[in-house]
């Protein structure tokens, strides 16, 4: 059980460090384009104006998992479909995330992402540069170069229309969103199924630190 829970927590961490707030409803595939992994779909993304859902088909040994974030209530729920269970985390209570805030997810201005990125507490001392307009898979985007305080440099392309990163390259890999479909998403995607039971995380796991 603990291994499964740890896997889902890592998914929460990945969501918190890589996601931005959508300006328009859409769905897409998150695809790994790193050498040797090209074309591997890592997650399915669904976004509304105040909620997001990430589905991870390969999590927990292929049994799958999902993370739903509600920006209005400042909560995230990690779902384990094979166990029909979920864990809920309030803002600032996710293990190792006391320094995170809503701004970590939200990207209110696709043309001025640097200001928001540099405000993140974990990124104090980093730098960010707007490299101008670019095109990714036929979509208009703005390319950014970011350097963290530890010296790691990466690049992110933010879609001008949906206000969401659609391509990224960095020290630990690269990827992009593909099969982007704009339009309203079913409300049921962002609700916890009625037959799921809430799981209380063991006290010993509450001091886990955010992976680097």
* pLDDT tens by residue, 47-98: 998 888 989 887 656 677 888 888 888 788 889 888 899 988 875 454 433 3
136 DSSP β-pair partners: 139
Instruction: Provide the CATH number for the domain around residue 77.
Output: 2.50.20.10
Residue 209 above 70 pLDDT? no
Range of the domain at 100: 2-205
Whether 91 maps to a domain, the answer reads: yes
Looking at residue 138, what is its pLDDT? 95
Looking at residue 182, what is its pLDDT? 95
| Mean model confidence pLDDT for the chain | 76
Looking at residue 36, what is its pLDDT? 80
If one counts the domains in the chain, the total is: 1
Entry pTM: 0.76
Whether 94 maps to a domain, the answer reads: yes
- In the numeric block, which tokens belong to residue 162? 């949906």
Torsion of CA 92, 116, 127, 145, to 10 degrees: 110
Whether 210 maps to a domain, the answer reads: no
CA angle 160, 162, 164 (to 5 degrees): 85
- In the numeric block, which tokens belong to residue 84? 């029909």
Whether 211 maps to a domain, the answer reads: no
Looking at residue 203, what is its pLDDT? 59
- Minimum mean pLDDT range among 2-11, 121-130, 175-184, 198-207: 2-11
Residue 15 above 80 pLDDT? no
Looking at residue 202, what is its pLDDT? 62
On whether the CB atoms of residues 42 and 29 are closer than 8 A, the answer is no
- Give the pairing of strands 127-136 and 85-90: unpaired
C-alpha–C-alpha distance, residues 92 and 72, integer Å: 14
Looking at residue 60, what is its pLDDT? 59
Q: Which of 11-15, 19-23, 115-119 has the highest mean pLDDT?
A: 115-119
């Amino acid at each position: 059980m603990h291994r499964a829970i740890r896997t889902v927590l890592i998914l929460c961490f990945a969501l918190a460090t890589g996601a931005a707030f959508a300006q328009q409803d859409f769905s897409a595939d998150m695809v790994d384009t790193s050498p040797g992994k090209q074309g591997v779909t890592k997650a399915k993304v669904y976004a509304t104006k105040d909620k997001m859902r990430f589905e991870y088909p390969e999590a927990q040994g292929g049994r799958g998992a999902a993370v739903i974030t509600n920006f209005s209530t400042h909560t995230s729920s990690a779902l384990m479909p094979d166990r029909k269970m979920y864990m809920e985390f309030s803002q600032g209570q996710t293990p190792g995330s006391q320094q995170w805030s809503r701004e970590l997810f939200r990207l209110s201005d696709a043309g001025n992402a640097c200001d928001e990125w540099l405000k993140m507490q974990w990124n104090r001392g980093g730098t960010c540069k707007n490299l101008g307009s670019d095109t990714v898979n036929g979509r208009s985007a703005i390319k950014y170069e970011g350097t963290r305080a530890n010296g790691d440099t990466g690049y992110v392309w933010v879609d001008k229309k949906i206000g969401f990163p659609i391509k990224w390259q960095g020290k630990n890999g690269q990827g992009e969103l593909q099969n982007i479909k704009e339009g309203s998403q079913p409300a049921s995607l962002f609700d916890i199924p009625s037959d799921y039971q809430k799981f209380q995380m063991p006290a010993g796991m509450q001091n886990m630190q955010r992976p680097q």
